[in-house]
Structure 1
Amino acid sequence: MIGRTLGVYLAKRFLQSLAVIFFTIFGLIYMADFVEMLRRAGDVPNTPVSIVLLVCLMRTPSIAEQVLPFATLFGAMAAFINLTRKLELVVARAAGVSVWQFLAPPLVAALGLGAVVVMLFSPGAALMKAKADEIEAGIFRTQVSMQDSNLWLRQRGRDQQSILRADVAAESGLRLSGVTVYVFDLKGRFVERVDAEQARLIPGEWELKTALVTAPAVDPRRVEIYHLGTNLLPTQVAQSFVAPETVPFWSLPRLAADTEAVGLDSVGYRLRFQQLIALPSLLAAMVLIAACFSLKLSRMGGIGLMVLGGVGAGFVLYVSSKLVSDLGGAGMLSAPVAAWTPAIIANLLGGLTLLNREDG
């Protein structure tokens, strides 16, 4: 094993390079978000620039967290290239230090950094993002935010159960448009179908406006207000529209369980939870991949080719991660499989490549 002094030195150099790249990206994200927010704030009179600056600053950590794996990749590449150009790694390897020994400190640093991000940085970023969204909603309160939801709900009432579908939702799901309801009795037998232009959730029921009620062997009838009983509370429906990125890590399991208990979709929360748990492993994989593209620089020559290879590897990993995540979000893959597959495959490929180049 390498000595403590060399191990601390290697880990320190890696963390320094990572910090420079991460905070550079952080600053770029902040400036781009500030310019866009300032443009939107121009349509709202008397909006203080200080509030815009604060909102952007509170939103940036949540966005920057998503680029942390790639900052780790490029930070590790920069550290290894600099160590190789200064012949420090060459001397270490000449002294009998294997590639796995001098990679151990950066790997341990990456795992530790991932744990800190999951337990401290991510919850803080989620809370700031949620608060920033509240402030932003207050600034642009004159604009009604509607989102394409294609919402499906399974619910129970006092003497019936129903399945509700809506085209769009507003006010965190408390107001719906383009509503279709299939009503069943407590034994699961179909009773009637209700189509309404709008629906509003009030305690104990959905209030459907301008509804068309169709039942077997009965002529369709129109009613101005249709009262549909429900066991859903306004807070439960509103929670289902909370973005997973705005929920702290420690609250994700409870929120997922509460969402499932009322028949709502909790895949996003469970996927987010598993992705955060897999983050330290993914950061370690970035270090291995970076080593594949930077340790043989002195023999292969050409920094540009190596950097291009690392960028290509990062792009392929990003596309793959996004694809697997979308499959998990659509329910085609389980949350653990969708979250852990990119990290596991990246670790295996990075380790296999290093074994082939250094020990094979």
Structure 2
Amino acid sequence: MSGIVLPRYLAMRFVSSIGAVFLLGTAIILLADFLELLRRTSDSDSITVLRALLISALRTPSLTEEFLPFAVLFGSIAAFIGLSRRLELVVVRAAGVSVWQFAAPALVVAILIGMGATTIYNPLSATMKERANRLGTTLFEGEQNLLIQTSGDVWFRQDGLEGESIVHARQVVSGGEELFDVAVYQFDDENVFRQRINARKATLSDGEWLLEGVTLYSTDGESEELDTYSLSTFLTPAEVRETVAQPDAVPFWRLPGVIALTQRAGLPAYRYRLRYQTLLARPILLAAMVLIAATVSLRMARLGGVARAIAGGVAAGFVLYVTAEITSDLGGAGVISPSAAAWAPGLAAILLGVSILLHQEDG
């Protein structure tokens, strides 16, 4: 084989293996989310199977982002095992090709996948997830709580010209600037409870929350229904976003602007900086998964034992995942630098993988 044919062939083998595992995982995630959505909405007559399937399809890409490193890990293990069982690696090694030469195409593939996942797939998945949230709230109005509880309930305290209030929302979209199924517990200047406000939707505008589909409940038990109601607030969009919005809902290309806006508002931006650095470090993490796959698979080519290789890969991937989650929690809380929290697990896994391969190959 010429110098370019072998790397191209190996790269295509890894692309096909990783792609197959990723598509299989995506199908499983889509099916599980779709069935869960049907279970939640089984009592509703207005929710059709096609609508539920559409919402699941729109939010599946955001769910598969967490699965991508494992797709690279298991796809790489499958590729290494396939090459070994067909004796292709034996022939390549006999021709004097080192482990680093036939692992290099896999590393290049992983890095390119990571770059594409960060710059293209992440913005697309975030946009589709936002579309799924909007579709659920638009189509099903009061039933959206059953449909798309991706952001979970949120509680926050705010202040305004009319006094303090505690806000509870079942669903959040548009970075926290639109809330659905809202309950506001309003207090006067002396911190005495004044009234409760239930609203179908709340939209943040300049210095106020514009509530729609409102029911006012006073302390004497009287209620009043209104089409709209204005609730004063001193919160800015940046403060609302930092309070209730999830960083994974912000596309990659918008994160620098959100970070700058949050910092200008005098608020901590640890979570957004961590998310940004995590996306930047994704190619390194995927490259680490390839090295982990090589350490547990190549030795199998000599000693046998597919089950052992798979079990080793699962264990190593799980340890790396847990480590990344721990460092992410610390970085999101500001205990350690978000950059260190995002980059350290992948870099440490790469160094460990290189050390193990050096020991296996050179003793």
Task: Please report the TM-score for the alignment, with normalisation by the length of structure 2.
Answer: 0.79
Mean Cα deviation higher: 83-92 or 261-270: 261-270
Cα distance per residue 1:297-335 (max 9 Å; x no partner):
132221111111111111111111111112222222221
Quick one: which amino acid aligns to residue 137 of structure 2?
A: A
- Measured after TM superposition, the shift of residue 229 of structure 1 is 7.9
User: Corresponding residue for 1:303?
Assistant: 306
Q: CA deviation at 1:194?
A: 4.2
1:12 aligns with 2:12: yes
CA RMSD of aligned residues (A): 3.4
Alignment-derived partner of residue 115 in structure 2: 115
Structure 1 pair 259–9 and aligned structure 2 pair: CA distance change class (3 A): same
The CA distance in 2 between the partners of 1:179 and 1:348, in whole Å, is 55
Say whether the 8 Å CA contact 2:238–2:261 is kept in structure 1.
no
Deviation at 1:5, TM superposition (A): 0.2
TM, length-normalised to structure 1:
0.79
> Could you say which residue in structure 2 is the equivalent of 1:26?
26
Separation of aligned partners in 1, 2:187 and 2:256: 31
Match of 2:53 in 1: 53
Q: Distance in 1 between matches of 2:237 and 2:58?
A: 27
**1:65–1:30 CA distance, 2 compared to 1 (3 A):** same
Any stretches of 5+ residues in structure 2 without a counterpart? 211-216, 220-230
* Aligned residue number for residue 293 of structure 1: 296
Change (3 A) 1:60 1:205: closer
The correspondence of residues 190-205 of structure 1 with structure 2, limited to 5 A, is 194=191, 203-204=206-207
Secondary structure of 2:141 counterpart? coil
Deviation, structure 1 residue 231: 4.7
Deviation larger for 235-244 or 55-64:
235-244
- Map 1:102-141 → 2, pairs under 5 A: 102-141=102-141
In 2: Cα distance, 1:264 partner to 1:178 partner: 25
Taking the aligned partners of 1:77 and 1:180, their CA distance within structure 2 comes to 60
Residue pair 1:203, 1:234 contacting (<8 A) in 2 also: no
Q: Which residue of 1 aligns with 2:246?
A: 243
* Alignment: residue pair count: 328
Matches within 5 A, 1:122-201: 122-143=122-143, 149=154, 151=156, 168-169=168-169, 172=172, 194=191
Task: Between 291-300 and 257-266, report the one with greater CA deviation.
Answer: 257-266
3-state SS in 2 of match to 1:295: helix
The alignment partner of 1:296 has SS state of: helix
Query: What amino acid sits opposite 1:254 in the alignment?
Result: G
Contact 1:44 1:139 in 2 (8 A): no
Structure 1 residue 130, shift from structure 2 partner: 0.7
Structure 1: gaps (5+ residues) = 182-191, 212-227
Partners of 1:295 and 1:243 lie apart in 2 by 40
Is 1:71 aligned with 2:71? yes
